[in-house]
Chains A and B, each alone.
Chain A
Amino acid sequence: MDEKQAIARLKKGDIGGLELLVRHYQVGAIQAAYLITLDRAIAEDIVQSAFLRVYEQISQFEESKPFRPYFNRIVVNAALKYVQRERKLSLDELLENENINLTPLNNDFEPAEWLDRVETRQLIWSILSQMPPLQRMAIVMRYFLDMSEAEMAEQMQCPPGTVKWRLHSAKQQLKTILSEHFRGKETANRADHELFKPKLVTEGGEK
């Protein structure tokens, strides 16, 4: 049974169709929600609720369209709403926060020095995890869910240019901090940088 048949069955009230959709999409969806909310239990709750919504509203779903983008939209939006509510930040505040620590690209930075390091991915994640939710959501949508910038713009309900800018600023921020980090390691004077407090760095990054 493929996705279309599962949806057709679900539309007829056969819950077996939903099981197939759950089994097929749940892990990726929970992972995406987690990457935005940083909380596994919340991510599972969000995905669970999202599937319930699918169950209740499947009649409105057009069978000709692929299910994954439709479902990802529900999950990502729910995850973002949660984060905004949890942190009690308005969307404006989140957007303001997107500009923090934005510095010019350091062209002297040599990625070859760090890309092969074991802890690099943990370090990247530690930085991503501290980004403002909206900015992190953009990263997750682009690089985890493999959405195009056009799809992101549609989902985030903003012009494509804004999406491009958000991604650029997030990457810029990441690169800057990484380069500062490694330079900082050399001079041993940046260990107290606010963004390098996370446990992943203190536990695994320093030798």
Chain B
Amino acid sequence: VREPDFEKEIKLALKAEAEQTIPADTDLWFRIYRQIQAKENIAPAPKAVPLLRDWRKLTVIGLSTAAGLAMLFIAFVVGISVGKIQETSVAGDISTAIPQPSVAGTTPDPTKLLAPVFTLSAHTGTVTAIAWSPDGTYLATGSADKTVKIWDSKRNLVKTLNFDNPVTSLSWSSDGKRLAIAAGRAFTYAMNLPGFPQIGYLAGNFKTVIFSPKGNQVLILGEGVGFLADEVFLVQGDFPLNSADSNGTLGVWSPSGLEFATTNKDNKAVYFWRASDFSHSGGVKPYFKLNITGGYNDIKKLDWSPDGAWLAVQREYEYQGKYIDISLWTKTNNTIWSSVNFELSNINTYKYVPKTWGSGWSPGSKVIGFKDDADKLHMLEYGGKISQVLDGETVKGISSGEWSPDGKYFGAGDNKGIVQLWEVNSANLGGKWEGNPYVGHISSLKLDPANPGVYRGLAVSSFGHIYLTAQNGLNRWIQKLDSTGKIIWSKSIDLNVLDTQGGRGGIALDSTGNVYVLDTLSYTVNKFDEQGNFLNKWGSKGSGDAQFENLNGIALDAEDNVYVLTLNEVKKFDKNGRFLLKFDKKPDGTSWFSRAKQVVTLPGDLVAVSDENSNILRIFNSLGNYMGELSIGLSANTLATDKKGNLYIGNHSQFYKFNPYKGSTQSNLLYTFGNSGKGNYQFNIISSVIVHENGLIYVLEWLPASAQIKVYYQYPNS
């Protein structure tokens, strides 16, 4: 007998038996952590969100009733803190290259306006619109004096645009390259070209122009008319309502750009439209009509929350005085909106005359200014708290206002053509309005404390619905939550959702809201609808095309193709489970991956894969061709991306953001924060990270019995 061969056979026999009985995705970590937690009696994370105190005060003084849902919502929209960002290039190991950031000290709190720090003698008539370019480079002001003026961040007048009619609306494209203006007719200008040439023009009498979040469409509204057009106003579709109703002049896009909402002619109803319906001409119908009940109601403003979950409708009505309220509406399924009402103001004390100029949703928070009969400026938070009342010469005649994108300035225009720039809460924010990057904590959503489990999978829909996979012993379930953390439904499933290697925990959504969940016991991909109803599944154990030896991660691309990651290959399927292709081996036949960990799809038809045994991300195109690699200096346990392709990694108790892959192996660490603990900027083992379309960051901490999702705003938002 040749001894080496014999020993080899023993080795192979041991290996085969070990791997057959103990698969590579076996994971004891949660058991171990639970035991440590029990031994050390680690207390659950604190439940109270400081801002809830404000809401409780409101109930004490007898304001309108509000459900717990609204309470959570207040916490969601109002809470903000700021983390200072470190920026540096990565070389070598990341944990030594990056200093721990500070997460305190420069909070722009929109509830605390200090004083106007700059005054621009901008116009000769009432200022009707103020809009910052998304990156803070320019400020555009529009006026009844029929001009739009463009200012740089040193308050120099850069350009004056003249029109035949008063200016009523301004809107920047999300990339800052285009500015749309309504001044009777509608116009677009190329703000990235010398002299800002006009590139779009549409005749008519329009009041409102709004760029879509994706920047490729403009919503144009006038009395009785509405158009959706591209940036040079090639109309993609008009949407005249039926003969019994017609368009109003208010509108708003959902943050995802998938939908928009418009008012009707008497501002008593809201229509919802899907942008995809405008890909063909004619016959476009709204998919839902929302009647705002009450004979005295008059819709004054529509706002869509940054996570896409809530449409806020501001109403004005008269009953022994003028009052306003805000009703919140959310999608209960793909086609139905329903209300969650709570009133905004203390109607017995304050009689506001809303001017309907507000900030939109100020970054990570929400404050709206209203003028009262005495011309005082009241700053109101959603939920009814009066954060500030400003009086005196500086606030008289204010007629329009807007927050800078970084949340550090509030621009207010008055009826004499003056624009004041108010600095927010701290005099040391600097004299410019282009802000430094920061991250602000918005809320912490505690997950079903009555039913503790190990939460692994996280996905967030375009409309703010949160999907989770969880497991507690043999009990396994999928949950759908609204953006306040309230459970919409929870369904037991017969899938093993725990053993996937972290990251998204084997859950992903397609563009229509269907949910895909990996099952590591049956080696299948399982598809559910948005109500949790099982649709179909595919896969089995094996090495065939539609088979898996193990399951690690799942991601969908813009066409809803499904990428399934195993330890050493990526398999691509269409949304119905038809196998398309796989990428696993280099041209020399060796594997790309030694222990693949996470997969995400990136803009530009790219796919990124992390590997437990390496500090790089491998980049492929959607055909499986290897494009290159990005050195990030750490092995990514979790991996997420945003609309620009920035990469976000949550490892243990730290959070990292890297620049997109641009063909170079060198990565740039944009910021990092976090350490071990229970604070707003601390983490107890990150198990999943998702970045929403408008840059909101969702971080799932799995810690049993106190699992929670922390939500952050970031500036810039991608």
Q: Point out residues on A near B: beta carbons under 8 Å.
A: 1-2, 5, 13-20, 22-24, 26-27, 30-32, 34-35, 40, 43-44, 47-48, 51-52, 55, 105, 107, 109, 111, 115, 120-122, 124-125, 128, 139-140, 143-144, 171, 174-175
Does B266 sit at the interface, judged by CB under 8 A? no
From known contacts A5-B95, A120-B9, infer whether A22 and B18 are also in contact, taking CB-CB under 8 Å. no
Q: Measured between C-beta atoms, what is the minimum distance from A198 to chain B in Å? A: 12
What B residues does A1 contact at CB under 8 A? 93-95, 634-635, 651
Contact of A18 with B32 in the complex, beta carbons under 8 Å: yes
Q: Binary interface profile of B, 7-33, with partner A (CB < 8 Å = 1, else 0)?
A: 101111111111101111011110111
Complex partner residue of B32 from A20, A22, A35, A143, CB under 8 angstroms: A22
Does B47 sit at the interface, judged by CB under 8 A? no
From known contacts A51-B28, A111-B6, infer whether A27 and B22 are also in contact, taking CB-CB under 8 Å. yes
B652's nearest neighbour on chain A, judged by CB, is: A16
Does B536 sit at the interface, judged by CB under 8 A? no
Does B291 sit at the interface, judged by CB under 8 A? no
Does B685 sit at the interface, judged by CB under 8 A? yes
A51's nearest neighbour on chain B, judged by CB, is: B32
What B residues does A5 contact at CB under 8 A? 93, 95-96
Once the chains are docked, how many angstroms separate the CA of A12 from the CA of B424?
39
Contact of B22 with A40 in the complex, beta carbons under 8 Å: yes
From known contacts A22-B28, A30-B22, infer whether A175 and B11 are also in contact, taking CB-CB under 8 Å. no
From known contacts A19-B29, A51-B28, infer whether A125 and B93 are also in contact, taking CB-CB under 8 Å. no
Q: Measured between C-beta atoms, what is the minimum distance from A73 to chain B in Å? A: 18
Contact of B10 with A143 in the complex, beta carbons under 8 Å: yes
Q: Point out residues on B near A: beta carbons under 8 Å.
A: 1-2, 5-7, 9-19, 21-24, 26-29, 31-33, 35-36, 39, 93-96, 612, 634-635, 637, 651-654, 675-676, 685
From known contacts A15-B685, A34-B21, infer whether A121 and B16 are also in contact, taking CB-CB under 8 Å. yes
Contact of B5 with A34 in the complex, beta carbons under 8 Å: no
Q: Measured between C-beta atoms, what is the minimum distance from B705 to chain A in Å? A: 16
What A residues does B31 contact at CB under 8 A? 44, 48
Contact of A16 with B36 in the complex, beta carbons under 8 Å: no
Of the listed residues A13, A48, A105, A175, the one surrounded by the most CB atoms of chain B closer than 10 A to its CB is A48
What B residues does A31 contact at CB under 8 A? 18-19, 21-22
Q: Measured between C-beta atoms, what is the minimum distance from A165 to chain B in Å? A: 16
Q: Measured between C-beta atoms, what is the minimum distance from B602 to chain A in Å? A: 24
New A-B contacts (6) at CB < 8 Å, excluding given A5-B96, A125-B14, A175-B1 = A30-B22, A30-B28, A107-B1, A111-B6, A115-B5, A144-B18
From known contacts A26-B27, A111-B2, infer whether A124 and B32 are also in contact, taking CB-CB under 8 Å. no
Once the chains are docked, how many angstroms separate the CA of A125 from the CA of B9?
10
Contact of B9 with A15 in the complex, beta carbons under 8 Å: no
From known contacts A35-B17, A125-B14, infer whether A143 and B7 are also in contact, taking CB-CB under 8 Å. yes
Once the chains are docked, how many angstroms separate the CA of A1 from the CA of B95?
7
Q: Measured between C-beta atoms, what is the minimum distance from B638 to chain A in Å? A: 12
Once the chains are docked, how many angstroms separate the CA of A204 from the CA of B624?
40
Q: Measured between C-beta atoms, what is the minimum distance from A79 to chain B in Å? A: 13
| 20 sampled A-B residue pairs with Cβ under 8 A | A1-B635, A5-B95, A15-B36, A15-B685, A23-B27, A26-B26, A27-B24, A31-B18, A31-B19, A34-B22, A44-B28, A44-B31, A111-B2, A120-B13, A121-B13, A124-B9, A125-B14, A143-B10, A171-B6, A175-B6
Q: Measured between C-beta atoms, what is the minimum distance from B300 to chain A in Å? A: 49
Q: Measured between C-beta atoms, what is the minimum distance from B4 to chain A in Å? A: 11
What A residues does B26 contact at CB under 8 A? 26-27, 30, 44
Q: Measured between C-beta atoms, what is the minimum distance from A164 to chain B in Å? A: 13
Once the chains are docked, how many angstroms separate the CA of A140 from the CA of B685?
34
Contact of A124 with B685 in the complex, beta carbons under 8 Å: no
Complex partner residue of A23 from B22, B29, B676, CB under 8 angstroms: B29
Contact of A43 with B10 in the complex, beta carbons under 8 Å: no
Contact of A35 with B95 in the complex, beta carbons under 8 Å: no
What B residues does A52 contact at CB under 8 A? 32, 35-36, 39
From known contacts A16-B676, A124-B13, A143-B10, infer whether A48 and B652 are also in contact, taking CB-CB under 8 Å. no
Contact of A26 with B14 in the complex, beta carbons under 8 Å: no
Contact of A19 with B685 in the complex, beta carbons under 8 Å: yes
What B residues does A175 contact at CB under 8 A? 1, 6
B18's nearest neighbour on chain A, judged by CB, is: A31
A140's nearest neighbour on chain B, judged by CB, is: B14
Of the listed residues B11, B28, B39, B637, the one surrounded by the most CB atoms of chain A closer than 10 A to its CB is B28
Once the chains are docked, how many angstroms separate the CA of A17 from the CA of B651?
10
Once the chains are docked, how many angstroms separate the CA of A13 from the CA of B677?
11
Once the chains are docked, how many angstroms separate the CA of A32 from the CA of B13?
13
Once the chains are docked, how many angstroms separate the CA of A108 from the CA of B16?
28
4 closest residue pairs by CB, A with B? A16-B652, A31-B18, A124-B13, A121-B13
Contact of A19 with B22 in the complex, beta carbons under 8 Å: no
Q: Measured between C-beta atoms, what is the minimum distance from A144 to chain B in Å? A: 4
From known contacts A26-B29, A43-B22, A55-B36, infer whether A19 and B13 are also in contact, taking CB-CB under 8 Å. no
What B residues does A128 contact at CB under 8 A? 10, 13-14
B613's nearest neighbour on chain A, judged by CB, is: A24
B37's nearest neighbour on chain A, judged by CB, is: A15
Q: Measured between C-beta atoms, what is the minimum distance from A202 to chain B in Å? A: 17
